[in-house]
Amino acid sequence: MSYLLDYNPGAPQYTYPRRGGAALSGTCIIHTAECAMDLDGDDTSAEVCANFIASRADYGSYHRLVDSDSIIDMVPFEYEAWQDSETNNWAVGISAAVQAGRWLDIPAERRDRIYRNMATAAAEFVRHMAAKGIAVPLRRISGAEARARVAGFCAHGDSGLYRSDPGAQFDWALFFEYTQQALSGINFQSATFHQEDELSAEFERDVRAQLSKDEAAFTKLDRDLRAQLQGLPSLDRDVRADLAQKGQQIAALTSTTQALAGLVGREQGLSVDDIKQAVTAAIAAGLTITVKAGE
């Protein structure tokens, strides 16, 4: 079960059969994915990177992508992935969800598990080729050898154009030592191979975690905004005070109308002074009155 075969909404990240019907030569390119790294807590580096690869609009993918607790089968070895423009046609790519210049920033125990998972993926490739009658030596090969389809392991920085991964800090001796152990049947694997549903459960958990972070951020933003608005005089008045004032204005208007009606009822006629007095009282209560000339 390969991740990208089921989930690849972005640019197509593989093709099958390989272009021109090319066969695997036993060449394996070693990469770092140059992605964000989780240096403590749950390691979701490979999962987040896998999702990025599946969704990206340009080309760039690997056959296996590992972090300290995951080995993700991205594309079957027999398929062609877009891992190195110079060797794609006959090679496979194994990548660590790590930045080439930051291997030594990773806590030692976590870094060790990343090497073990890369070795597990490499051993899987060596066995895959052995079943096809091709021996892959645990040897670092040059870029020229990788481009000439020699079996072995090559840094993407050596085979590829304008690349430097997996970087000068990558410990080739340790990688080969662990790959040899994996091939000898020593079971040190620190990862569980992800089943599809486990991966989506993990993604769901990540998304939920992000959403709850966003929600907390929203609550804080809302609180901060309210606090700032409290300080502004024009917005300081709350709705109840506003309504009370409107009520007073309505009462003033009512009493003005009643006063005018009383004067009419007593047949005393309306003097200009009567009207002025009533209107002045209404204005004092906050009522705005527009007086129109007779039409």
Residues that bind Zn ion (CB under 5 A): 31, 156, 165
Q: Would you say how long the chain is, in residues?
A: 295
Least Å distance between CB 135 and Zn ion?
25
Nearer to Zn ion, 48 or 94 (CB): 94
List, as own/partner pairs, every contact residues 71-74 make where C-beta atoms lie below 8 angstroms and the sequence separation is at least 24, other chains included.
71/46, 71/117, 71/120, 71/121, 71/189, 71/191, 71/193, 71/194, 72/3, 72/46, 72/47, 72/194, 72/199, 73/1, 73/2, 73/3, 73/193, 73/194, 74/2, 74/3, 74/4, 74/13, 74/50
Least Å distance between CB 156 and Zn ion?
3
Least Å distance between CB 223 and Zn ion?
45
Nearer to Zn ion, 102 or 255 (CB): 102
Least Å distance between CB 119 and Zn ion?
18
On the 0-12 / 13-18 / 19+ scale of CB atoms within 10 A, 131 is exposed
Q: Give the Å distances, CA to CA, from 212 to 44, 63, 205, 215.
A: 17, 33, 11, 5
Nearer to Zn ion, 131 or 161 (CB): 161
Nearer to Zn ion, 124 or 165 (CB): 165
Least Å distance between CB 60 and Zn ion?
8
Please state the φ and ψ torsions of residue 224, each to the nearest 5 degrees. Answer: -60, -45
Q: What share of the chain is helix, strand, coil (3-state, %, to 5)?
A: 50, 10, 40
Nearer to Zn ion, 10 or 252 (CB): 10
Nearer to Zn ion, 31 or 116 (CB): 31
Least Å distance between CB 165 and Zn ion?
4
